[in-house]
């Protein structure tokens, strides 16, 4: 547990000093380390500045083993309060399967539409799953996010 906490602190410090989008591996390792002990779904938002540096990693809400309630207004409020210009959405699937549900897809579309009005970019929605090995699903890579 102490090793995971130390790794989490190091990755967070590194993410704040460089571009959060510098490497897919760094990003997914960071997200996986933060979700490794979670037994319920946790929805978090990485709030980024204009240079894609991490301003804050904010846990928006915690849910159950197969659902997490998320309010679009709360995501937008967090971005506006911190003057974020971009976001990376993330949540975990404790079942191990990182593929998005229809609810995940619809929520992401709503958040993207709301952020467009405020000129905030949503870079991705990443779902982290665990099984035999760590895996992550990128809605951007799967073509589910449009610019």
Domains (range + CATH), the chain: 1-142 (3.40.140.10)
pLDDT tens for residues 36-91? 778 899 999 999 999 888 999 999 999 999 999 999 999 999 999 999 999 999 99
Q: Where is pLDDT greater, at 9 or 113?
A: 113
Does residue 14 surpass a pLDDT of 70?
A: no
Contacts of 116 (CB under 8 A, 6+ apart): none
| Helix boundaries (H) for the chain | 2-17, 24-35, 72-81, 102-117
What pLDDT score was predicted for residue 132?
Answer: 43
Does residue 114 surpass a pLDDT of 90?
A: yes
pTM of the predicted model, to two decimals?
Answer: 0.85
What pLDDT score was predicted for residue 1?
Answer: 55
* 12/59 Cα distance (integer angstroms): 14
Mean pLDDT, residues 123-133 taken together: 80
Mean pLDDT, residues 107-136 taken together: 89
Report which of 90, 79, 99 is spatially closest to residue 29, judged by C-alpha positions: 90
% of the chain with per-residue pLDDT over 90: 59
Q: In 10 A of CB 49, how many CB atoms?
A: 16
Give how far Cα 65 sits from Cα of 38, 68, 100, 115, Å.
9, 8, 14, 28
């Amino acid at each position: 547990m102490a090793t995971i906490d130390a790794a989490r602190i190091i990755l967070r410090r590194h993410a704040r000093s460089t571009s959060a989008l510098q490497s897919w591996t760094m990003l997914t390792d960071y997200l996986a380390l933060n979700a490794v002990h979670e037994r319920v779904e946790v929805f978090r938002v990485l709030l980024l500045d204009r240079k894609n540096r991490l301003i804050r990693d904010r846990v928006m809400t915690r849910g159950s083993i197969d659902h997490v309630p998320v309010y679009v207004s709360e995501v937008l409020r967090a971005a506006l309060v911190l003057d974020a210009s971009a976001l990376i959405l993330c949540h975990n699937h404790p079942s191990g399967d990182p593929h998005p549900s229809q609810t995940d897809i619809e929520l992401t579309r709503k958040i993207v539409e709301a952020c467009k009005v405020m000129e905030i970019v949503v870079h991705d929605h990443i779902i982290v799953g665990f099984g035999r090995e760590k895996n992550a699903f990128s809605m951007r890579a799967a073509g589910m996010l449009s610019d």
